[in-house]
Amino acid sequence: MKKIKINPSTLRLRVDGEQGRTIKNFGFYIIILVFVFCIYNLTGCASFKETVKGIAGVSTKALEEGRKDAIKKTFNYDYFTTYTKTLDILKDIGAYIYTQNVKKYMIAIYVSEKDTTPVGIFFKEIDAIHTQIEVSSPSLSAKGLVSVKLFSALEKDLPQK
């Protein structure tokens, strides 16, 4: 079995019986590694994950930030019923669901498989039989289109008194 020896003064890797090889710019690689480590720790894990999601095209950050300008409507359904009916309606209208999370009270969609304008649908449980839906998007037309289709379909399903 061959032994690997590292000589720190010359930065040479030496395997028994072979001539050593010098690692060029070894200090440069250490500086880059330390820099990446510091950036990762300063920005935190959550923003790193959000950056990766943004690069992949599945980030919901812009949708969450746009909630203040969301189109809102309250329905006479409990949260779970509202959530499941919304999923069914979105599939019926041809929306592409790219993120859904029951615990986070949200669904993120693209208007269709061809139109990748993001739209966020957020749920707010008012009480046991009332749930508010918020439709958020950076695009006013996408937000309007999805909210009209979704809200009208949910209203059709409301039990008549």
Output the DSSP codes for 14-45: EETTS--EE-TTHHHHHHHHHHHHHHHHHHHH
Which tokens belong to 11? Answer: 């930065």
Residues 52 and 73 in one domain: no
Q: Does 41 score more than 60 pLDDT? A: yes
pTM value surpassing 0.85: no
Q: Does 49 score more than 60 pLDDT? A: no
How confident is the model at residue 8, as a pLDDT? 57
Residues 75 and 135 in one domain: yes
Tell me the C-alpha distance between 50 and 67, whole Å: 18
Residues 85 and 133 in one domain: yes
The domain boundary, picked from 31, 56, 81, lies at 56
How confident is the model at residue 73, as a pLDDT? 95
Number of independent structural domains in the chain: 2
User: Would you place residue 144 in the very low, low, confident or very high pLDDT band (cuts 50, 70, 90)?
Assistant: very high
67-98 per-position pLDDT tens digit: 899 999 999 999 999 999 999 999 999 999 98
95-132 per-position pLDDT tens digit: 999 888 888 899 999 988 888 889 999 999 999 999 99
Q: How far is CA 22 from CA 11, 32, 34, 113, 154, in A?
A: 6, 19, 21, 53, 69
Residues 32 and 45 in one domain: yes
User: Would you place residue 4 in the very low, low, confident or very high pLDDT band (cuts 50, 70, 90)?
Assistant: low
Residues 86 and 143 in one domain: yes
Under 8 Å between Cβ of 22 and 10: yes
Residues 26 and 69 in one domain: no
Residues 99 and 150 in one domain: yes
In a domain, 161, yes or no: no
Residues 21 and 79 in one domain: no
Residues 111 and 94 in one domain: yes
CATH code of the domain containing 89: 3.30.310.80
Residues 119 and 135 in one domain: yes
How confident is the model at residue 56, as a pLDDT? 46
Residues 84 and 149 in one domain: yes
In a domain, 152, yes or no: yes
Residues 39 and 108 in one domain: no
Domain that holds residue 44: 4-56
